[in-house]
C-alpha cells in the first residue's frame, strides 16, 4: 500500500480540478460545495440520466433540456451521462470489446466539453471507476470538473468478457479512490443497485455492506463517499428509511449524489408510470425536506421501460417531479418519523452485525483488514450470495430463500416471499413427504428465483437438496449424480435452450447408465427451432423425451415422491 | 535453555542425502552439501556424512545444540491410490489431498468399482489408499459397494476413508472385518462446491511418518534426529507457499509456480487463488491455493521412455537433430543407468529436449483449461486452475539447476496465447532457479522460523 499511496500523491500533484459552466454559474469549486449551500437553503437538486450515443445529439439535447426547463419555470441541477463499456478498459484493450451505445471519449478535450454545454453539473458513473481504466477515467473526469464519480459497486459486478485485467482493476480503482481523496469536494459514488445491492435479499445485510464499502473508501483510502439506490426500492417508505440509514454512517457529511427512480414499477402503460414517478419522487422529496442529505431527486421519463426517452419526455418528467417537490413540504410534518427512525435503527444495528461478521470472516481467511486491495478482491471472490448465506443476520431457516429469514426483505424478495407463501399453501401439507429423498437442482441461466422457490418447497418437504447454482452444465449434473445418487434433477430455465439442454442431458444420462433418473424442467420451456427468430414452446417435445414438464409448484413434491417409490410414469 | 542458533536440515532422497545448515540469527545458510544416498542399506551412513559436514561448518558445540529436522522422499516417496465417485469432484479432491500431503499417485479409480479395478490396485506398490466420495447426507449405495470390494481385496495397506460420513461407520466395519487398517477423516467434499482436505492430509502425513517411513529403512535414523517432519514434497509445497505469500517483514513473490523435474517424476506446484478466466464458469472440485501435481510418466531417467513418447519422436528428432536410433539408444541407457549424468553430446541434447518436454507437458496437465460450449447457458467452462496471473516460475531439481538449460526449460511453462488460447498458463513470467537447492530446507525451517526460511530461499534464487 505504501507504493499505492506514493503513486496517489504523485498523480494528485499533477491533477487540477477543472471548472464547469455549472461551477461558474453558481460560484462554487465543486458539486459538493453547491450541495452544502443548497441543503442549508432548503433547495432540492434534480437529476436525469441520459444515454444518447453521439456527442452531437447529446450536446444538442442537454442544451435544449436546460433552456426549455428554464423557460417553463423548472430546473435541472445535474445529469448522469451513460458511457460505453469500452471506456471501462484501457485504450489498447478496447478493440477486444464490441462497442455498445454509450458515449466514448478519446481526447481530454472531449472530456472537458461535457461540462461546458449548459450549467448542469455532469455526473459520471458507468464504466468510470471500479473498472480497469479507473485511474485514467478519474483523472480526466476531475480535470474536466466532474467531481462526483462512480461506481464503487461496479468493481464487484461489471465485467468485461475476454479481458483479463482483474489486478489492474483493483490497483487502478484504489488509485482512483485515493486520488479523489486528495481533493476536497470530490464524491466517490456507489450505486448499490448496480452492485451487490441487487443481489442481497436482506436490507439489513445491504446496510452492513454500505459500512464495508465506506470502510474501504473512506477509512482506508481517505476519500469521501455516498450511496445511491432506488431502482429496486418500490416501497416509498423504504426509500426514506434507507436514505436515513446511509446518512447515519456518513460521518464526513458528504452530500449525496442522487436517489435513483424506482424502475420496478415501470411498464408499458405510461399513465401508470406517471403514478410510479409521482410515488417515488414524492417520497424522495419528503426525505430531503425532512433531513437534507443532498441526494437529488431523479426524474425517470415514463417511456423509459420501452425506448430511449426523448428530450421532451425528460422535460415532462421534471415538471411532474416539481409538483411532488412542492407538495412534499405539506406531507413532511405528518409523516411518523419515530416509526421511520425505528426502522432505520433496526437496519443499522443488524448492519453492524453483518459488517463485523464479514470482517471477522475475512480476518479468519488471512485477509489483511488494513489493505483495501486485499479486501476488495476477497469480497469479490466470495460474492454476495455467499456473504449473505454465511454472514447474514437473518435467522437460519431451512425453508427460507438462501437459508435465512431476512430481517427486512428487499422489495423483490417481498414479492418472492408472497409467491412462496402462495406456493406453500397450494402445495398443502408436505412436511416429511420427502424425508431421506435426494434432489439435484440448478438453473441454466442467471435467473434463480424459480430454482430458489422449488428448493425451499423441497426443503420444507424434508428432501436433501443439492443446489448446483446458476448456469448449470450437463457435465456438472452427471458428476453430481455420481456423488449424490439422486434420482431427480430439477432444472429451471428461462434462456430459450430448454430442448437442446434436455436432449444433451438425456443423452449423457444414457451414456452413464442413469436412465432411472427423472428430469423435471420448469420456467420458460421454449427454444428457437429450425433457425427461426422467435422462440416457440417446446413442452411437447420435452414430454416426448420423458422430461417432466408439469411446470407447477404444487405437483413437484408428489412427483418426486412417486419417482422414489417407483410409481412415476413418464 | 535458549533456543538454538543453528538448525540442521537433512533430506533423505533416492539419489542423495542432502544437508542444509541454517543460521537463524543471521537468517542465512551456512552450509549446503549432499552425499550419495545410503537409504537402501543403512540410512545412518549418509546422515552421519551430512552431520560431519555440519560439525565442520559450525563446530561441535553448536552442532550438539542445533535442532535437527529431516524430510524424506527415499525409496520411491509416498505412493498412493485414490478411489472416488466422480472424476471431477471426489476423485479430483482426493488426488488434490494426496498430492498436498506429499504423495505421488499411482492410480485413481472413480465410480462403482469393478473387480478389474481392485486387481489393478493390488498389482501396484501402493502404501496408502484414499477412499472418498459423496456429499454429506447423500446416497451411500456405491460407497458401500466399493467398501465391500476393498474389504475383500488383497490390499494390505492403510485405507483412509474421507467420504460421506453417513457411510463412515459401515465402511469402517466392512474394512476392519476385511482386516484392513482403516482411518476415518472428515468428508473431503462435504457439499457442492466445498472441499475440506486439511484433516485427511494430516492423517496421510501421520501414517507416512509413523508407519511407512520405518519400512523404508529410516527407523534407524530417528534417534539421531529431533524430528522427521514431513515427506519432502510436502516440505517443498510449504516452502513455495511461503515464497509466494512472504512474511510479516518480507514481501512475497505473489502468484508463482515451482517446477521440479526428477528422474522418475515431474512435480509442479502452483500458488494462486482460483479465479474464473474471462468470466468462464468454473466446474469441478474447488482448487486449493497451493496445488501440487506429480506426473509419474514424465521424468528424465526412469520415466524417460514414456516422456519421450509423450513428447513424440518426431519432435525429439527435430529438437535434438539426432536420428531416431540415436535418441532410442540414449533413452535405453537412461532407463537402466538412472544415476548417470549426461556426458556425451547426444546425451546432453536428449536431456535438454526431455527437460523441456517434461516442463511443458506437466505444466499443461497441472493448469486449468477452457472448454468452449454452445448448448448450455454458458459460453466457456473452466476446468482446473487459472494460472494466468502467475508472475514467477522457479525451477528446482538437478535436471534444471545443474544442466545449463534450466532457462529454456522453464520457458516452456509459458503459453502462447494464439497457439494455446485455452490453456490457463501465464504468458509472461520471471524465471528463477533454486541454485542452492534449498527448498526442502525452506519448508522444514518454516515450521521453526519463517523469516529465516524465506530469506534463505530468496538468497538461493538466481534469475535466468
Q: For A136-142, which contacts have Cβ atoms below 8 Å and span 24 or more sequence positions?
A: A136/A90, A136/A172, A137/A87, A137/A176, A138/A175, A138/A176, A138/A179, A138/A180, A139/A11, A139/A15, A139/A179, A140/A105, A140/A108, A140/A111, A141/A111, A142/A15, A142/A16, A142/A17, A142/A18, A142/A179, A142/A180, A142/A183, A142/A186
- Report the relative pairing of strands B28-36 and B16-23 from DSSP bridges: antiparallel
Contact flag A483-B134 (C-beta cutoff 8 Å): yes
Q: Which residues of B touch A476 (CB under 8 A)?
A: 283
Q: Domain A2-339 sits in which CATH superfamily? A: Methylmalonyl-CoA mutase (3.20.20.240)
List pLDDT tens digits, range A224-262: 999 999 988 999 999 999 999 999 999 999 999 999 998
CA distance B135 to chain A (A): 6
How many helices (H) and strands (E) would you count in chain A?
20, 16
Contact flag B138-A467 (C-beta cutoff 8 Å): no
Contact flag B135-A471 (C-beta cutoff 8 Å): no
CA quadruple A81, A84, A90, A92: dihedral, nearest 10 = -140
ipTM > 0.90, yes or no: no
What cell numbers appear for A320 in the block?
411532474
- Measured distance CA(A142)–CA(A122) in Å, rounded: 11
Chain pair A-B, CB pairs under 8 angstroms: 95
Give the 3-state secondary structure percentages of chain A, helix then strand then coil, rounded to 5. Answer: 50, 10, 35
Contact flag B283-A476 (C-beta cutoff 8 Å): yes
- The closest CB to that of B133, out of A476, A478, A483, belongs to A483
Exposure string for B227-239, b = 16+ CB within 10 A, e = fewer: ebbbbbbbbbbbb
- Measured distance CA(B408)–CA(B270) in Å, rounded: 19
What's the pLDDT at B213?
Answer: 67
Q: Which residue in the block uniquely carries the three cell numbers 410515488?
A: A279
- Measured distance CA(B218)–CA(A484) in Å, rounded: 42
More confident residue, B207 or A237: A237
Q: Which residue in the block uniquely carries the three cell numbers 483495501?
A: A372
CA distance A296 to chain B (A): 35
DSSP code of A231?
T
Q: Is A562 helix (H, G, I), strand (E, B) or coil?
A: helix
What's the pLDDT at B75?
Answer: 65
Task: State in Å, rounded, how far the first CA of chain B is from the last one.
Answer: 44
- Measured distance CA(B181)–CA(A51) in Å, rounded: 70
Contacts of A194 (CB under 8 A, 6+ apart): A151, A153, A154, A157, A158
- Measured between alpha carbons, how far is residue A470 from residues A506, A548, B283, B463 in Å? 19, 20, 12, 44
CA distance A417 to chain B (A): 25
- Measured between alpha carbons, how far is residue B292 from residues A327, A508, B73, B403 in Å? 68, 31, 15, 24
Domain topology for A428-565: Rossmann fold (3.40.50)
What's the pLDDT at A524?
Answer: 84
List pLDDT tens digits, range A67-96: 999 999 999 999 999 888 899 999 999 888
Q: Which residue in the block uniquely carries the three cell numbers 417435445?
A: A541
For the cut 80, the answer to whether the pLDDT of residue B445 exceeds it is yes
**Which whole number is the average pLDDT over B424-445?**
92
Confidence of residue A534 (pLDDT cuts 50, 70, 90): low
- Measured distance CA(B143)–CA(B432) in Å, rounded: 45
Domain-wise residue ranges, chain A? 2-339, 428-565
What's the pLDDT at B374?
Answer: 59
- Measured distance CA(A540)–CA(A545) in Å, rounded: 9
**Strand arrangement, sheet containing B128-131:** B103-110, B78-84, B128-131, B159-161, B182-184
B277 near A CB under 8 A: yes
What's the pLDDT at A444?
Answer: 85
Confidence of residue A539 (pLDDT cuts 50, 70, 90): very high
What's the pLDDT at A532?
Answer: 64
Could you tell me if A472 and A443 are in contact, meaning their C-beta atoms sit under 8 angstroms apart? yes
- Measured distance CA(A466)–CA(A119) in Å, rounded: 57
Could you tell me if B39 and B216 are in contact, meaning their C-beta atoms sit under 8 angstroms apart? yes
- Measured distance CA(A484)–CA(A486) in Å, rounded: 5
What cell numbers appear for A193 in the block?
443497485
- Measured distance CA(A445)–CA(A160) in Å, rounded: 18
What cell numbers appear for A170 in the block?
483493483
What's the pLDDT at B244?
Answer: 96
What's the pLDDT at A447?
Answer: 72
Contacts of A478 (CB under 8 A, 6+ apart): A508, A509, A512, A514, B86
What's the pLDDT at B406?
Answer: 86
Computed over every residue of chain A, the mean pLDDT equals: 92
Contacts of A25 (CB under 8 A, 6+ apart): A119
Contact flag B375-A162 (C-beta cutoff 8 Å): no
Bridge-partner residues for B22, per DSSP? Answer: B7, B29
What's the pLDDT at A263?
Answer: 79
Q: Which of A204-213, B185-194, B228-237 has the lowest mean pLDDT?
A: B228-237
Bridge-partner residues for A440, per DSSP? Answer: A466, A489
Backbone angles phi, psi at A546, to 5 degrees: 95, 15
Phi-psi region of A344 (alpha: psi -120 to 50; beta: other; left: phi over 0): alpha
pTM: 0.73
B247 near A CB under 8 A: no
DSSP code per residue over B113-144: --HHHHHHHHHS--SEEEE----TTS--HHHH
For the cut 80, the answer to whether the pLDDT of residue A306 exceeds it is no
B199 near A CB under 8 A: no
More confident residue, B319 or B213: B319
Contact flag B277-A164 (C-beta cutoff 8 Å): yes
B85 near A CB under 8 A: yes
For the cut 70, the answer to whether the pLDDT of residue A295 exceeds it is yes
Could you tell me if B48 and B222 are in contact, meaning their C-beta atoms sit under 8 angstroms apart? no
Residue to mutate among A169, A471, A479, A564, with most B CBs inside 10 A, is A479
User: What are the start-end ranges of the E strands in B151-289?
Assistant: 159-161, 182-184, 227-231, 256-261, 266-271, 281-283
What's the pLDDT at B377?
Answer: 57
Q: Any alpha helices (H) in B321-402, and if so which ranges?
A: 324-336, 345-366, 398-401
List pLDDT tens digits, range A30-49: 999 999 999 999 999 999 99
Computed over every residue of chain B, the mean pLDDT equals: 90
A500 near B CB under 8 A: yes
A157 near B CB under 8 A: no
More confident residue, B311 or A102: B311
Bridge-partner residues for B184, per DSSP? Answer: B161
Residue A382: closest C-alpha in chain B: B275
- Measured distance CA(B331)–CA(B346) in Å, rounded: 11
Backbone angles phi, psi at B128, to 5 degrees: -145, 145
For the cut 90, the answer to whether the pLDDT of residue A445 exceeds it is no
CA distance B78 to chain A (A): 27
Q: Which residues of B touch A478 (CB under 8 A)?
A: 86
How many helices (H) and strands (E) would you count in chain B?
17, 19
Q: How many CB atoms sit inside 10 A of residue A503's CB?
A: 16
What's the pLDDT at B378?
Answer: 67
Confidence of residue A266 (pLDDT cuts 50, 70, 90): confident
**Which whole number is the average pLDDT over A208-231?**
96
Q: Which residue in the block uniquely carries the three cell numbers 416471499?
A: A417
- Measured between alpha carbons, how far is residue A432 from residues A429, A457, A458, A464, A562 in Å? 9, 11, 10, 11, 14
More confident residue, B403 or A301: A301
List pLDDT tens digits, range B102-137: 888 899 999 999 999 999 999 999 999 999 999 999
Angle between helices B324-336 and B304-311 (to 10 degrees): 150
DSSP code per residue over A434-452: TTT-EEEEEESSS--HHHH
Confidence of residue A271 (pLDDT cuts 50, 70, 90): very high
Amino acid at each position: 500500500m505504501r507504493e499505492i499511496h506514493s503513486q496517489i500523491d504523485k498523480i494528485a500533484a499533477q491533477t487540477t480540478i477543472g471548472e464547469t459552466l455549472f461551477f461558474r454559474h453558481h460560484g462554487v469549486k465543486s458539486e459538493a460545495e453547491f450541495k452544502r449551500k443548497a441543503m442549508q437553503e432548503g433547495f432540492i437538486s434534480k437529476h436525469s440520466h441520459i444515454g444518447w450515443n453521439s456527442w452531437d445529439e447529446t450536446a444538442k439535447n442537454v442544451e435544449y433540456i436546460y433552456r426549455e426547463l428554464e423557460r417553463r419555470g423548472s430546473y435541472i441541477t445535474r445529469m448522469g451521462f451513460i458511457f460505453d463499456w469500452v471506456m471501462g478498459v484501457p485504450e489498447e484493450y478496447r478493440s477486444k470489446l464490441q462497442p455498445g451505445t454509450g458515449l466514448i471519449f478519446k481526447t481530454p478535450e472531449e472530456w472537458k466539453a461535457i461540462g461546458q454545454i449548459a450549467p448542469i453539473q455532469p455526473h459520471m458513473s458507468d464504466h468510470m471507476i471500479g473498472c480497469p481504466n479507473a485511474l485514467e477515467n478519474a483523472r480526466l473526469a476531475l480535470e474536466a470538473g466532474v467531481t462526483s464519480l462512480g461506481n464503487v459497486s461496479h468493481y464487484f459486478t461489471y465485467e468485461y468478457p475476454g479481458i483479463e485485467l482483474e489486478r489492474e482493476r483493483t490497483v487502478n480503482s484504489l488509485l482512483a479512490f485515493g486520488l479523489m481523496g486528495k481533493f476536497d469536494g470530490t464524491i466517490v459514488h456507489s450505486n448499490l443497485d448496480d452492485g451487490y445491492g441487487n443481489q442481497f435479499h436482506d436490507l439489513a445485510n445491504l446496510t452492513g455492506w454500505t459500512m464495508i464499502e465506506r470502510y474501504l473508501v473512506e477509512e482506508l483510502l481517505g476519500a469521501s463517499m455516498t450511496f445511491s439506490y432506488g431502482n429496486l426500492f418500490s416501497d416509498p417508505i423504504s426509500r426514506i428509511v434507507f436514505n436515513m440509514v446511509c446518512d447515519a454512517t456518513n460521518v464526513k457529511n458528504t452530500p449525496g449524489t442522487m436517489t435513483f427512480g424506482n424502475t420496478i414499477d415501470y411498464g408499458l402503460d405510461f399513465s401508470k408510470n406517471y403514478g410510479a414517478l409521482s410515488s417515488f419522487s414524492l417520497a424522495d422529496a419528503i426525505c430531503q425536506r425532512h433531513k437534507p442529505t443532498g441526494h437529488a431527486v431523479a426524474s425517470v421519463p415514463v417511456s423509459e421501460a420501452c425506448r430511449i426517452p426523448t428530450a421532451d419526455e425528460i422535460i415532462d418528467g421534471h415538471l411532474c417531479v416539481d409538483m411532488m417537490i412542492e407538495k412534499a413540504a405539506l406531507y413532511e410534518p405528518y409523516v411518523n418519523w419515530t416509526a421511520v427512525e425505528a426502522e432505520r435503527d433496526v437496519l443499522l444495528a443488524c448492519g453492524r452485525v453483518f459488517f463485523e461478521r464479514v470482517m471477522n470472516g475475512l480476518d479468519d481467511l488471512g485477509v489483511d483488514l488494513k489493505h483495501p486491495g486485499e479486501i476488495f478482491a476477497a469480497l469479490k471472490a466470495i460474492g454476495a450470495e455467499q456473504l449473505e448465506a454465511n454472514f447474514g443476520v437473518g435467522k437460519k431457516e431451512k425453508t427460507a430463500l438462501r437459508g435465512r429469514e431476512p430481517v427486512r426483505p428487499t422489495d423483490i424478495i417481498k414479492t418472492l416471499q408472497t409467491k412462496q407463501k402462495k406456493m406453500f399453501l397450494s402445495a398443502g401439507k408436505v412436511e416429511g413427504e420427502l424425508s431421506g429423498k435426494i434432489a439435484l437442482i440448478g438453473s441454466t441461466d442467471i435467473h434463480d428465483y424459480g430454482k430458489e422457490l422449488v428448493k425451499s418447497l423441497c426443503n420444507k418437504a424434508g428432501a436433501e437438496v443439492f443446489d448446483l447454482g446458476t448456469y448449470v452444465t450437463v457435465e456438472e449434473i452427471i458428476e453430481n449424480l455420481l456423488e449424490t445418487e439422486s434420482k431427480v434433477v430439477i432444472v429451471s430455465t428461462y434462456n430459450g435452450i430448454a430442448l437442446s439442454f434436455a436432449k444433451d442431458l438425456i443423452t449423457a444420462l444414457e451414456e452413464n447408465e442413469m436412465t432411472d433418473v427423472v428430469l423435471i424442467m420448469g420456467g420458460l420451456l421454449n427454444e428457437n427451432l429450425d433457425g427461426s427468430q422467435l422462440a416457440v414452446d417446446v413442452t411437447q417435445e420435452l414430454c416426448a423425451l420423458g422430461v417432466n414438464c408439469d411446470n407447477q409448484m404444487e405437483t413437484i413434491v408428489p412427483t418426486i415422491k412417486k419417482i422414489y417409490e417407483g410409481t412415476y410414469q413418464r | 535453555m535458549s533456543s538454538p542458533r543453528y538448525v540442521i536440515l537433512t533430506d533423505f532422497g533416492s539419489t542423495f542425502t542432502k544437508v542444509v545448515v541454517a543460521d537463524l540469527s543471521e537468517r542465512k545458510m551456512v552450509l549446503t552439501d549432499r552425499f550419495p544416498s545410503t537409504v537402501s542399506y543403512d540410512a545412518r551412513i549418509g546422515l552421519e556424512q551430512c552431520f560431519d559436514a555440519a560439525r565442520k561448518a559450525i563446530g561441535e558445540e553448536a552442532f550438539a545444540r542445533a535442532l535437527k529436522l529431516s524430510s524424506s522422499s527415499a525409496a520411491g516417496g509416498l505412493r498412493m491410490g485414490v478411489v472416488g465417485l466422480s472424476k471431477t469432484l471426489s476423485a479430483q479432491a482426493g488426488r488434490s489431498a494426496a498430492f498436498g500431503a506429499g504423495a505421488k499417485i499411482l492410480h485413481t479409480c472413480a465410480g462403482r468399482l469393478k473387480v478389474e479395478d481392485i486387481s489393478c490396485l493390488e498389482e501396484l506398490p501402493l502404501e496408502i489408499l484414499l477412499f472418498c466420495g459423496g456429499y454429506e447426507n447423500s446416497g451411500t449405495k456405491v460407497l458401500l459397494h466399493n467398501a465391500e470390494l476393498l474389504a475383500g481385496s488383497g490390499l494390505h495397506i492403510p485405507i483412509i476413508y474421507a467420504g460421506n460420513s453417513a457411510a463412515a461407520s459401515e465402511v469402517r466395519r466392512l474394512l476392519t472385518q476385511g482386516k484392513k487398517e482403516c482411518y476415518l477423516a472428515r468428508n473431503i467434499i462435504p457439499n457442492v462446491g466445498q472441499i475440506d482436505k486439511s484433516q485427511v492430509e494430516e492423517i496421510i502425513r501421520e501414517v507416512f511418518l509413523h508407519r511407512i517411513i520405518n519400512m523404508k529403512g529410516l527407523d534407524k535414523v530417528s534417534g539421531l534426529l529431533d524430528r522427521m517432519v514431513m515427506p519432502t514434497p510436502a516440505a517443498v509445497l510449504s516452502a513455495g507457499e511461503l515464497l509466494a505469500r512472504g512474511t510479516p517483514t518480507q514481501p512475497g513473490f505473489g502468484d508463482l509456480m515451482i517446477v521440479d523435474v526428477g528422474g522418475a517424476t515431474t512435480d509442479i506446484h502452483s500458488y494462486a487463488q482460483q479465479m474464473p478466466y474471462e468470466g468462464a464458469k468454473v466446474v469441478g472440485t474447488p482448487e486449493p491455493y497451493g496445488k501440487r501435481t506429480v506426473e509419474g510418466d514424465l521424468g528424465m531417467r526412469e520415466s524417460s521412455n514414456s516422456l519421450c513418447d509423450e513428447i513424440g519422436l518426431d519432435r525429439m528428432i527435430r529438437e535434438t537433430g539426432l536420428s531416431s536410433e540415436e535418441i532410442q539408444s540414449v533413452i535405453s541407457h537412461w532407463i537402466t543407468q538412472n544415476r548417470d549424468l549426461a556426458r556425451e553430446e547426444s546425451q546432453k541434447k536428449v536431456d535438454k529436449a526431455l527437460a523441456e518436454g517434461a516442463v511443458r507437458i506437466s505444466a499443461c496437465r497441472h493448469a486449468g483449461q477452457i472448454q468452449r460450449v454452445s448448448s448450455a447457458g454458458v459460453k466457456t467452462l473452466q476446468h482446473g486452475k487459472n494460472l494466468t496471473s502467475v508472475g514467477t516460475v522457479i525451477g528446482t531439481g538437478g535436471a534444471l539447476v545443474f544442466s545449463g538449460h534450466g532457462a529454456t526449460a522453464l520457458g516452456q511453462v509459458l503459453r502462447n496465447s494464439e497457439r494455446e488460447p485455452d490453456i490457463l498458463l501465464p504468458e509472461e513470467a520471471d524465471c528463477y532457479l533454486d541454485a542452492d537447492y534449498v527448498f526442502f530446507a525452506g519448508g522444514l525451517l518454516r515450521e521453526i522460523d519463517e523469516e529465516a526460511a524465506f530469506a534463505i530461499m530468496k538468497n538461493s534464487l538466481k534469475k535466468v
